[in-house]
Structure 1
């Protein structure tokens, strides 16, 4: 019996989009990368469109210029679907709120929370802060009063407010009905294993 050897899939590696996204995130032009890597602009353009396969040495040169780990080009993306019904219940404090974590517990770049606030729900009498760079609050339905050091902001269905990280604030559902919110916290205020 002959030993079976794995065969290549035949599918081309799609690394161009990762290279292009990394270049653009650093505000570099193709000409900048070409000059630093001693590769032609046309060649880099074709690599970014996955129209050609670079040699190992060309790929190493591109990764060095972009400060990108070579292995990261071949890693599968971390994609995870969390159904609302399966989202973890969490407690961010306050009263009258049911809060669900819509992003994976181990995700440190961002957290998305969905809050269902009963009439009279509150984040508490005292203003609090969250250890993050920015919070974005979006009202899916109902209304909310966001309390800040300088006053109050009334938010209605469809409104979105950005709050600077570590800014003292709290909230109240003063409406007679239920309010649904999405909170996006960047970076995640906390993470742990699921």
Structure 2
């Protein structure tokens, strides 16, 4: 077991710097760094103090029976929704992606297909156009993107995506919060 990497992962999950963790446990930043790189081993007392600050128990910390989160998702794991009226199909590539920091979706537009207009949000959005040609309307600006183009924007204004191609257009969209 790599104690250091588990301590580092917990520290990062708690949004703490090495210095902040050190201050809360009366340890130095250098010592925390050595622990995380497995260059030093903590005493039992020090480990318990670290775990308390990091919000976990020794039992949870050393429990190897936890299932690791899946990394690869097959089409069987994915969910698809079609809206024939607006002319699009969305495939959520990751189950429960709306619970994560990023939400990746594959969107297929039929001719004249479009997504609804979205209200301003704190979302950041990345789009990669796989085929066809789309228009992205952000506030009063309209941007064209074709196959092979990448798009990145902050969704601080109302925004909308629609097919600007006579045929099918496809894109990969990744947003940093619940977007669709």
Residue 32 of structure 2: SS of its match in structure 1?
A: helix
Unaligned stretches of 5+ residues in structure 2: none
CA–CA separation in structure 2 for the residues paired with 1:128 and 1:86: 27
TM-score of the pair, normalised by structure 1: 0.68
Flag the structure with larger Rg: 1
Q: Following TM superposition, by how much is the alpha carbon of 1:82 offset from its aligned partner in structure 2, in angstroms?
A: 1.7
TM-score of the pair, normalised by structure 2: 0.72
Going from structure 1 to structure 2, the CA distance change for 1:170 and 1:144 (only over 3 Å counts) comes to: same
**RMSD, aligned α-carbons:** 3.3
Alignment pair present for 1:104 and 2:90: no
Map of 2:45 onto structure 1: 57
Q: Following TM superposition, by how much is the alpha carbon of 1:83 offset from its aligned partner in structure 2, in angstroms?
A: 1.8
CA–CA separation in structure 1 for the residues paired with 2:6 and 2:45: 18
Unaligned stretches of 5+ residues in structure 1: 1-11
Q: Following TM superposition, by how much is the alpha carbon of 1:153 offset from its aligned partner in structure 2, in angstroms?
A: 1.0
Map of 2:17 onto structure 1: 28
Alignment pair present for 1:161 and 2:152: yes
Q: How does 1:1-194 map onto structure 2 within 5 Å?
A: 12=1, 14-21=2-9, 23=11, 26=15, 28-29=17-18, 31=19, 33-39=21-27, 43-65=31-53, 68-71=54-57, 73=61, 74=63, 76-84=67-75, 86-91=77-82, 95-105=86-96, 107-109=98-100, 110-124=102-116, 127-129=117-119, 133-156=123-146, 157-164=148-155, 167-189=157-179
CA–CA separation in structure 2 for the residues paired with 1:113 and 1:183: 5
Q: Following TM superposition, by how much is the alpha carbon of 1:116 offset from its aligned partner in structure 2, in angstroms?
A: 1.4
Residue 46 of structure 1: SS of its match in structure 2?
A: helix
After TM superposition, the runs of 4+ consecutive aligned structure 1 residues lying more than 6 A away are none
